[in-house]
Amino acid sequence: MQRLYGVVSFFYVVLKGVKMKSKIDMTQGSISKGLMKMAFPVMATSFLQMAYNLTDMFWIGRAGSRSVAAVGSAGFYVWLSFAFILVSKVGAEVRVSQSIGGKNFSRARDYARNALQMNFILSVFYGALVYFFSNRLIGFFNLGDQGVISMAVSYLKIITFGMVFSFSNPVFTGIFNGYGDSKTPFYINTIGIGVNLILDPVLIFGMGPIPAMGVQGAAIATVLAHLMVFISFLIYINKGKGVVKALELHHKPEPYIMREYMRLGLPVALHNGLFTFFTMIIARIIAQWGPLPMAVQKVGSQIEAISWMTASGFQVAVSTFVGQNYGASQPKRIKRGYATGIAMISVVGVFATLLLVIFARPIFSIFIPEEEVVKLGVDYLKILAYSQWFMCIEIVTAGAFNGLGRTSPPSIVSIAFNAMRIPMSIFLSSESLLGLNGVWWTLTITSVLKGLILVGWFLFMVKKTEFFQDDKCLEYGAVAEEKEI
């Protein structure tokens, strides 16, 4: 452990040498520059994470499509864990950003401390649940291949040993993001991603005295990477850096803050959890075509992440922007910030559509070279390509709602249309209609509808809410902000 601590300390010293202003005050100055400064580190972290995921799929894909199917099925429960993480993460981002906007720094620290305490309890609960019921959880998919099932169960059990770390790191990131500091989480998460990139091929295929461990090696690499990130955050905090300094985690949780987190985080967590559950049901529908479509969905969703990970960066930026300006009572600036965020993410959405339509085959074949799987993968990418812009504007709009502390509308829209995917998938995937491609078209159609409806809801809310009708903001301010953009 001392050596591990020393390695992380070395990385910290290196990253500390990069002189940048961490905290961003988004209640003043250029809107577009503020959003970019906030979004870019989050996007960079997301792209690094995507690079890891794609590299992970590259190496696992070289071990065969059955290995990809095993990791893909187990990965659903890793994905489901994020529903528990979001309860405290969303609450921390909203309340920390609003506290910072109102210049109440001590309250921001209280919110940060309680988020980490709640998150620790949830990580222990979920990790134990998944470990002891892993066989039944994987059995849900009816994979029909005992080798794939065995690999999936093994992968899942190993992952549970890092649950405390994988739960805590997003919450640390959310706290810093709410503070307006997205650079520090970027630096720290870069360490973990780098560790993962190095360990993956070594542990999956073996090197020197290290035996080849296949999917178990991929799981171990992931756990060690999460551990490195966790230790890095602790080192940074112990040095008294940022809003999270002197958190005093030994203090008892404050019940009313916990209730606030439940109110703010539960809609988003429920949305995320049900999204994962509905996706698992769809995966079970896909499984009737065998394990290959499971591999296609796993790899295809990672490739498709080029757009939604970018959008997630802007979601954090818009959420923080709206939260700080809501705390500072600047409604006109909120409206301009939202419009700017939508304009920026639209470029990404259009680019992603063109990329997936034109280069579907060469991109997918990088990860799984088997021709039968590549054909299925090309269909997946081309069909999902048409939903990319709508998905992007949905994600950014959800960030705007979150910044206002109104987390229910995005959850309602998402839950409703994600639930619709199950009967629609069954109908469109019938042999008399589209077969397997009917599932992919279901995902695209519902994404389009979610984007359109959520944006419409937000614009209607802005038009009808008294806060946004406040005419106390001087015309000078509106003109000045127009020039900033």
Query: Tell me, what DSSP letter sits at residue 334?
Result: H
Cβ(173)–Cβ(189) below 8 Å: yes
Q: In the predicted model, is pLDDT for residue 15 greater than 80? A: no
What is the reported pLDDT for 444? 94
pLDDT at 386: 93
Using one digit for the tens of pLDDT, what is the confidence trace for 335-358? 888 988 899 899 989 999 999 999
Residue ranges of the alpha helices (H) in 102-145? 105-132, 134-139
Give tens-digit pLDDT for 112-123. Answer: 888 888 888 889
Least confident stretch, 34-38, 249-253, 382-386: 249-253
Q: What is the mean pLDDT of the segment spanning 145-167?
A: 88
Average pLDDT over residues 462-468: 79
Phi, psi at 250, each rounded to 5° = -75, -15
Asked if pLDDT for residue 306 goes beyond 60, the answer is yes
pLDDT at 185 over 90: no
Q: What is the DSSP string of 177-238?
A: HHHT--HHHHHHHHHHHHHHHHHHHHHHH-BTTBPP-THHHHHHHHHHHHHHHHHHHHHHHH
Structural domain count of the chain = 1
pLDDT tens figures, 202-217: 998 888 888 888 888 8
pLDDT band for position 241 (50/70/90)?
Answer: low
**Structural domain contains residue 18:** no
Residue 445 banded pLDDT, cuts 50, 70, 90? very high
Among 19-28, 29-38, 177-186, the minimum mean pLDDT is found in: 19-28
Mean pLDDT on 315-334: 83
pLDDT given at position 16:
44
For 345-361, give one letter per residue: b (16+ CB within 10 A) or e: beebbeebbebbeeebe
pLDDT at residue 227 greater than cutoff 90: yes
Residue 14 lies in a domain: no
The answer on pLDDT for 33 being more than 90 is: no
pLDDT-derived band of residue 485, with 50, 70 and 90 as boundaries?
very low
Q: Which residue has better confidence, 199 or 48?
A: 199
Share of the chain above pLDDT 70, in %: 85
For residue 478, pLDDT over 60 is answered with no
What number is the average pLDDT over the span 281-309? 79
pLDDT value for 366: 79
> What is the band of 246 on the pLDDT scale with cuts at 50, 70, 90?
low
The answer on pLDDT for 482 being more than 50 is no
Would 335 be classed as within a structural domain?
A: yes
- For the segment 153-172, the average pLDDT, to the nearest whole number, is 90
pLDDT score for 13:
41
Distance CA 235, CA 240 (A): 9
Q: Is the residue at 53 inside a domain?
A: yes
Q: Is residue 110 one of the residues assigned to a domain?
A: yes
Q: What is the mean pLDDT of residues 284-313?
A: 79
Reported confidence tier of residue 405, pLDDT bands at 50, 70, 90: confident
Q: Would 460 be classed as within a structural domain?
A: yes
pLDDT of 452 over the 90 cut: yes
> What is the average pLDDT score of the chain?
79
Model confidence at 470: pLDDT above 70:
no
Residue 19 within any structural domain of the chain: no
φ/ψ region of 4 (left if φ > 0, alpha if ψ in -120 to 50, else beta) reads alpha
**Residue 462 in domain:** yes
- Show the domain range for 286: 31-484
